[in-house]
Amino acid sequence: MIFQNIRRILRWGAIGFMRNGTVSFSSVLVMTIALLMIGSTMLMSTFLHATLDSVEDKIDINVYFSVDAVEEDMTELQRNLEYLATVESVTYVSKEEALVEFKARHENDELTIQALKELDENPLRARLNIKAFSPEQYDSIAAIFNEGSATLQEYDTGFIDKVNYRDNRLVIDRMTNIIDGVEKGGVVITFALILISVLITFNTIRLAIYISKEEIGVMRLVGAGKHYIRGPFIIEGVIYGVVSAIITVVLFYPITLTIKKHTEELFGGIDLFKYYVSNFMEIFLIILVSGIALGAVSSFLAVRKYLKK
């Protein structure tokens, strides 16, 4: 008996979806927009975090040594820094290696290369590239190179010519603030759209119930329970969510394919199309569950109002 009632509820829910074509189309359209925003927020969050990780990976502390610095002192400082718990890696770049890097970066700039050839000696200086395990640790590492630091007392005055950390720290702090702001704004917009979608879906389902009010009245007269009356409308809302989810994931395919080039070029971001394809099932399940929940909750609230009469 229970299974028979379930089959009837499923059947009448599907019939209601097909019969109320205009109402169903409106509900699916609204829910699709809401699910597009949910999916867009997910993809945007992934892109922003990937961009921040890419920027953070490029951030380091560059310690430039003076022209008269002795190589043994530089490599000794490198070994001392590698023992620090906050330091992930320390790379020593000699004057010759720095010159090779400089020429590679400016290989298409003939004027710069020609000016370099006019010089009698290598104008570049040796340096250490220091990377921390996390951006928050750079402040403590940079403090080592402050004037009067105990770590540098054993070296000659003027041993270190320049430390360029402060400019890099400003860049990553600004990037982090921008990304946090965008994420928070995206969450607020998404919840606002979901709320609007619930209200609109709620009203469209109320219209469907109003159209079926005579059927509901007959069902109540013959003693049908509230669950039996409510069931088909909830199933109808679930169908709205499933159809909207399918439409949403189909639309994301050309959207991510179109913007993939731009997301790759911006700050060395990720290929969103590749990410979408490789994580398709996870994204689809999140959107599907969101759509089903949106449709079911909207239907439940709408039917509850009419069953109280």
Residue 1: what pLDDT?
53
Question: Residue ranges of the chain with pLDDT lower than 70?
Answer: 1-17, 20, 56, 147-158, 166-169, 172, 175-176, 179-180, 182-183, 186, 190, 193-194, 197-198, 201, 204-205, 208-229, 263-269, 305-309
State pLDDT tens for residues 196-245.
766 776 776 677 666 666 666 666 666 556 666 677 778 888 888 899 99
Domains present along the chain, CATH in parentheses: 2-55+173-307 (no CATH), 67-158 (3.30.70)
Sequence-separated contacts (24+) of 255-262 with Cβ below 8 Å: 256/43
Residue 205: what pLDDT?
65
Residue 248: what pLDDT?
93
Residue 300: what pLDDT?
79
Does this model's pTM top 0.85? My answer is no
